[in-house]
Amino acid sequence: MYNFEYLNPTSLEEVSEVLAHSDGETVLLAGGTDLLDRLKEHLLRPRQVVNLKNVRELYTIERNEGLTIGALVTIADLAADAYIQENYPALSQAARSIATPQIRNMGTVGGNLAQRPRCWYFRGVEYRCLKKGGRKCYAVEGLNKYHAIMGGGPCYIVHPSDLAPVLIAYGARVTISGANGTREIPLEQFFQLPAKDLKKENVLNENEMITRITLPPQPENTYSLYLKFKELESHDFAVVSVAVVLHTRKKRITDASLVLGGVAPIPWKIPEAGALLKGKELTEPAIQAVAEQSVKGSDPLPQNGYKVHLTRNLVRRALTEIQQQL
Amino acid sequence: MSKWKPLEKMKILGKKYPRIDGAEKVTGRARYTYDQFKEGMLYGAILGSRYPAAKIVKIDDSMVWSLPGVKAVLTDVHPTGRVRYVGEEIAAVAATTPEILGEALRLFRVEYEKLPFTLYLEEAMKDEAPRVFPRRSNVNKPRIREEGNVEQGFAQAEVVLEDTFRTQVQIQTPLESHGSMVYWDGDELIIYDSTQAVHGVREGIAKMLDMPLHKVRVICHHMGGGFGSKLQPGIYTVIAARLAKQANAPVRLMLDRQLEFLTTGNRPDSLSRIKMGAKRDGTITAFFAKTYGTAGIGNGAGVRLPIVYSIPNVRHEHHDVYTNAGAARPFRAPGCPQASFAMEQMMDEMAEKLGMDPLQFRLKNDSNPTRQKEWMIGAERFGWHRRKVTPASDPGPIKRGMGLGASIWWPGGRGTKASMKIYSDGSVEVFCGTQDLGTGTRTHIAAVAAEELGLELKQIKVHIGDSNYPRSGASGGSTTSPSVAPAIKNTAEKARQELGKILAEHWNVSPEAIIFSDGYVIASGEAKQRLSWKEACGLLETDVLEVHGEWSEGLSSSGVAGCQFAEVEVDTDTGKIRVLRIVAVADCGLILDRLTTESQVNGGIIQGISYALFEERLFDPQTGAMVNPNFETYKIVGTMETPEIEVILFDEPERGVIGIGEPPTIPTSGAIANAVYNAIGVRIKSLPMTPDKVLQALANQKA
Amino acid sequence: MSEKKNNKVKGITRRDFLKGLGSGAIGSAILTGGGLIPAESKAELLGPGAEKIHGTQKIELLINGKKERLTVEPRTTLLTAIRDKLHLTGTKEVCDRGQCGACTVLIDEKPMLACMMLAVDVRGKAITTVEGLSGSGKLTPVQEAFVEKDALMCGFCTPGFVMAATALLKKNPDPSLEEIKQGLAGNLCRCGTYPKVFEAVKAAAAKMRKGVAHE
């Protein structure tokens, strides 16, 4: 790890002050589980590391008509929150599926959304890949069993966040603050494909940060589920994950949201799921149709074709599980 | 030299008791090599080659030197300047803090002339593949094993089967990485090394540094795992010694996890093409195998086929193949898990073809009398009769299956020397230049000594892990217990005789009448004299009784048999295999400590599961670098993957002590593979059996 | 100054040095005894408790109930601080990337990974290492059970497991086998001693519940 200056602001105002003086070599430190990894691998060399853990405003879990979650709320606290378990159960499931007990005590909601990809070429300092200013994506001709089957190109990372697919499925919005003020956008629009910007996975500018997530209230008879497939149950990122949120009235679906994790460089929304399910009951043919739709247009690399089967099967399994609750 | 007492007379051996260094380990007081510290100590690190094949044109260390805190640099650690794998040692540095060290490593400017390379077994075998050694073919000449007449054997066969199996490269990756803390005491070199062989390392390092043996001392009080990879002296030790000399300061050089994965050994992969013939009655008549394996730039990728079963006519041709990868080293039962994965599946395929139950087919072809008993014990406990006859007959996407496999091992041990000191206050010290890898050797030594002297475990102070102590061999190949335990018994017996003489004189009885039991020394027969151990030792007054002993014949033996039964669940939607249950019957001879023995068997099985389902070294074809030199993507069984394991210890105390570390890891992958077939009706013939392979196999079956 | 000596000896100027680093945009970096430190931020932090740490810093950590003074850099991890500066070596360094749990310590009673935290970040927090569990010399029920059940082999993962198990039982005094597995899922053992760990945690839980009932 290279040396850096450590800044310890205690309010958002001060964070803005720091970010205003940043010349693109400032990084924000929350839980540290991703940042320290990259610092140790010499993937970045910041001048300043700004510790956010003393900014109290970032810790709230606030119930309003929906729910506001501060960026510094830990994954463990998120998983343990009774209100979330009751009202946004898939979010609890996703939080519990993340990493390990130790990392859940450290990692934060904001960090989980802004974390960098786990692609082994991106993480290895020896590969000058596209994301690091190089000229090729090593996954294309290299080892790609965990890489993108959708939305890839020219870089084939998958987004590693477990929270993002669920939050998007619930219709979450994200608040971004920076030296130039604050904006709020749908979380779905927070992420962007490599085709748009190779160097980063989201729209955060260098002098910006996530401050909170806002979840809209869910109507009665909402059913939601997060299903994560990992090779090692003990400690692993998703190979494929499925977030489903269904709003129903008298067993009929009034709205449906399906977002996949682990398959694309961003949380991958299947917008057609809504149209396929709206106004219908969750029958076998409907489930089958959504499962097929979820992998339509997938374009696997030589070693990750299995992820297409896996995705289709997991979507079917997730919807079948909900069907049994209905 | 007397035999072991009968088991029913033993007070300690054969029983369950906790290890004597447990408290040190659970409190963090146990100091490993990684924990050694000395005033002024520097942190050392090695720079590994960035390319899999290259000539080192120039190493510029000027930037390294200009970093404050850098105290020593070596740029001549590679003997030829022609590197053959990523991570191969080319330079080294020592600095005052770990942080500076990390930065310093990035300041070497190395100019390479890149050369073509080859990484994978089957590619390296091709004629057009770049050569790893310019003047040698990548494919080594075959080693041939022949028994009987294989042509005749196949002619007798009524059913002949052919199949091909592949296994991956597995890395030992012990939690304590390889490394040493060294310092110079004048012209003497003191080495704390994380090693499986304190004496072997002393001899090796003395040779490499051209020093007399008595000026090198190697210490290893506790070590964090080795599994075969720490049997040899390390280049890192030599580098640390040179850095320490240059800086005139102690140096601790522990490999980082990446170099640990790349440079400290592995279990070679394998490609096994097998042909097997049997008669309709289930007798195997012939076995032919052509196998290949790569030990990287090294040799020793043998696949021990045929394994376990008795076959009259055998021919096996094996070729080691060079690739641009770090050399293999022994890894728990070298050559055996590879062989077992293929063999056990061939056995099941043949049994199916013959319409026989896999267990019956094995019983018919297994000539080991111990295992014949073990098969039955295991089958009963496991509930083998509940195995479904038709594979893939469970309804629904999640399917269960059962499978089995056998274990075997050969070496015994010999050669250990030991000494013992008994003081006039009754305290006892045992000295032995062996080491405890976590197998419990320290505890076993105390147990044997206590058993022989009629004392309790806690009365024995055990000193091991130091080349100043009497010589013992490397702890590998399950040789430690059969080598060490007899030596300790012999030493204790000598101590008993010496002390017995003194007491016999004291009581005026014959030395044969003296008995050591339950903390007392007793004159049996008419004298009826009795002294507590402490009182008896008091007769030594200020003298220390010191005796030397050594391994002797008849207290240990070689040859180990065992078997395992596995039940799995396969999710056909995801391709994931979950091991639900393993029942293992382990051949144990005379058990030293039931608790540590069970732990060893558990460990073998769990490493076997990890090998079967998760672990695999992955090289990037473009750069030759390993993409997964870490515990995130080099996947190892964790708590959630650990199934219910039942260990049945099969005692045969009359055989004396045998080593049990290797055999339990051999059959696990084959047993699991057979259970997977039983569950889903498709064979997975390549390790690790990951979800992608299972899904692919299921898709192929449908098509 | 060793820095000067080194520079002179090797004939390298600071400018060469900075150029050699090659990653650009560090023109304003300076060399000190602790390596390379980037220039100070111009941001002004005036709030109570706000601070900038530049170069080395004397800090105080509350470890095992004792105030420990030590000098660190901002980049010094908690693991390095406790192992290499305070020589509390019970906490193990294995993967150094948050993947194995061997460096598990308790921060305000919660298990966390010392390798993935900066020492400066845990000032004012109660840090417990394995050495702090049995300060009186008497083993805790968890430690006792680990020894009795042989929940360790080489022992290198053991302190991490002991810490994780201690935290787990504090949160859940009567965990099921599944909950034990989940609670310890962040700890890796290469020897494969997990079955005995599960037994030990069960036994410790029973012993602790009994102890509580008696009090």
Q: What are phi and psi of B124, to 5 degrees?
A: -65, -20
Residues of B with CB under 8 A from a CB of A: 50, 99, 102-103, 106, 397, 573-576, 614, 618, 620-623, 625, 627-628, 632-633, 635, 637-641, 690-692, 695-696, 699
Angle at C180 between CA C179 and CA C181, to 5 degrees: 90
Q: What is the mean pLDDT of residues A52-66?
A: 94
R_g over Cα of chain B: 28
* C39 with A99: Cβ contact below 8 A: no
CATH topology classification for B368-410+559-702: Aldehyde Oxidoreductase; domain 4 (3.30.365)
Q: Alpha-carbon distance A273 to A289, whole Å?
A: 9
Q: Could you report the predicted ipTM of this complex, rounded to two decimals?
A: 0.97
Q: Say if A165 falls within a structural domain.
A: yes
Q: Is the pLDDT of residue B142 over 50?
A: yes
Q: Which of A185, A215, A245 is the last residue of a domain?
A: A215
pLDDT in tens, A132-145: 999 999 999 999 99
DSSP 8-state symbol, B67: S
Domain range holding A205?
A: 57-114+158-215
Residues 128-157 of C with CB under 8 A from A: none
What does the DSSP assignment read for A151-216?
S--S-------SHHHHHHHTT-EEEEEETTEEEEEEGGGTB--TTT-SS-SBS--TTEEEEEEEEP
Residue range C141-209 in CATH 1.10.150.120: yes
| pLDDT of C22 | 37
pLDDT in tens, B154-190: 999 999 999 999 999 999 999 999 999 999 999 999 9
Mean pLDDT estimate for chain B: 97
Q: Alpha-carbon distance C210 to C215, whole Å?
A: 9
Which numeric CATH code is attached to C56-132? 3.10.20.30
| pLDDT of B681 | 97
| pLDDT of C36 | 60
Q: Are A263 and A157 in contact (CB under 8 A)?
A: no
Q: Name the residue of chain C whose CA is nearest to B227's CA.
A: C191
| pLDDT of C215 | 53
Count of pairs with CB atoms under 8 A, one residue in A, one in C: 153
**Within this chain, do residues A185 and A263 fall inside the same structural domain, yes or no?**
no
Count of pairs with CB atoms under 8 A, one residue in B, one in C: 224
Q: Say if A37 falls within a structural domain.
A: no
Q: Is the peptide bond before B306 cis (omega within 30 degrees of 0)?
A: yes
pLDDT category, B276, cuts 50, 70, 90?
very high
pLDDT in tens, B80-95: 999 999 999 999 999 9
Chain C neighbors of A29, CB-CB under 8 A: 118, 121
pLDDT in tens, B281-319: 999 999 999 999 999 999 999 999 999 999 999 999 999
Q: Alpha-carbon distance B499 to B514, whole Å?
A: 9
**Within this chain, do residues A207 and A231 fall inside the same structural domain, yes or no?**
no
Residue B640 CB contacts under 8 Å (≥ 6 apart), including other chains: A232, A233, A234, C181, C182, C185
Q: What is the pTM of this model?
A: 0.96
Question: B682-686: long-range contacts at Cβ-Cβ below 8 A with a sequence spacing of 24 or more?
Answer: B682/B392, B683/B345, B683/B349, B685/B163, B685/B164, B685/B165, B685/B166, B685/B345, B686/B165, B686/B166, B686/B167, B686/B168
Give chain A's domain count: 2
**Within this chain, do residues A230 and A96 fall inside the same structural domain, yes or no?**
no
Instruction: Show which subunits contact A, needing at least 3 CB pairs below 8 angstroms.
Output: B, C
Q: Is the pLDDT of residue B503 over 70?
A: yes
**Within this chain, do residues A296 and A167 fall inside the same structural domain, yes or no?**
no
Q: What is the mean pLDDT of residues A52-59?
A: 95
* A120 with B635: Cβ contact below 8 A: no
| pLDDT of B40 | 97
The architecture (CATH level 2) of B33-115+172-263 comes to 2-Layer Sandwich (3.30)
Q: Say if A31 falls within a structural domain.
A: no
* B66 with C12: Cβ contact below 8 A: yes
Residues 72-131 of A with CB under 8 A from C: 76, 99-103, 105-106
Q: Say if A130 falls within a structural domain.
A: no
Of B70, B437, B598, the CB nearest to C154: B437
What are the start-end ranges of the E strands in B357-450?
A: 398-409, 417-422, 428-431
Q: Is the pLDDT of residue B202 over 60?
A: yes
**Within this chain, do residues A232 and A104 fall inside the same structural domain, yes or no?**
no
Q: Name the residue of chain B whose CA is nearest to C91's CA.
A: B28
Q: Name the residue of chain A whose CA is nearest to B635's CA.
A: A232
Would you mind telling me the total number of residues written for chain A in this entry? 326
Q: Best of B262, B570, B626, B633 to disrupt the A interface by mutation (most A CBs within 10 Å)? A: B633
Tell whether A170 is within 8 A of chain C (Cβ): no
pLDDT in tens, B535-590: 999 999 778 999 999 999 999 999 999 999 999 999 999 999 999 999 999 999 99
Residues 2-41 of A with CB under 8 A from C: 2-11, 13-14, 17-18, 20-22, 25-26, 29, 32-33, 36-37, 39-40
Q: Alpha-carbon distance B111 to B90, whole Å?
A: 12
Q: Which of A215, A238, A255 is the last residue of a domain?
A: A215
Of C96, C104, C118, the CB nearest to A102: C104
**Within this chain, do residues A242 and A314 fall inside the same structural domain, yes or no?**
yes
Q: b/e string for B563-584 if b means 16 or more Cβ within 10 A?
A: bbbbbbbbbbbbbbbbbebbbb
* B257 with C155: Cβ contact below 8 A: no
Domain boundaries, chain C: 3-50, 56-132, 141-209
Of A40, A120, A229, the CB nearest to B633: A120
Q: Say if A293 falls within a structural domain.
A: yes
Q: Name the residue of chain B whose CA is nearest to A138's CA.
A: B622
| pLDDT of B524 | 86
Of A1, A17, A47, the CB nearest to C39: A47
Q: In this structure, what token pair is assigned to residue A191?
A: 């992420």
The CATH number assigned to the domain holding A307 equals 3.30.390.50
* A232 with B575: Cβ contact below 8 A: no
Residues 6-65 of C with CB under 8 A from A: 23, 25-26, 34-54
Q: Which comes out higher in pLDDT, residue B4 or C31?
A: B4
Share of chain A above pLDDT 70, in %: 100
* C139 with B27: Cβ contact below 8 A: yes
Tell whether C119 is within 8 A of chain A (Cβ): no
| pLDDT of A229 | 98
Q: Which comes out higher in pLDDT, residue C33 or A298?
A: A298
Q: Is the pLDDT of residue B477 over 50?
A: yes
Q: Are A118 and A233 in contact (CB under 8 A)?
A: no
* A303 with B692: Cβ contact below 8 A: yes
Residues of chain C under the 50 pLDDT cut: 1-29, 32-34
Residue range B7-29+412-550 in CATH 3.40.50.1980: no
| pLDDT of C34 | 47
Q: Name the residue of chain C whose CA is nearest to A41's CA.
A: C97
| pLDDT of C40 | 78
* B34 with C93: Cβ contact below 8 A: yes
Q: Name the residue of chain A whose CA is nearest to C102's CA.
A: A102
Domain boundaries, chain B: 7-29+412-550, 33-115+172-263, 368-410+559-702
**Within this chain, do residues A233 and A105 fall inside the same structural domain, yes or no?**
no
Q: What is the mean pLDDT of residues B412-437?
A: 96
> Which residue from B254, C77, B260, B629 is spatially nearest to A123, judged by alpha carbons?
B629
Q: Do domains B7-29+412-550 and B33-115+172-263 have the same CATH topology?
A: yes
| pLDDT of C198 | 98
Q: Alpha-carbon distance B282 to A83, whole Å?
A: 64
Mean pLDDT estimate for chain A: 96
Number of neighbouring beta carbons within 10 Å of residue B203: 17
- Measured in whole angstroms, the distance separating CA B86 from the mean position of its chain's CA atoms is 25
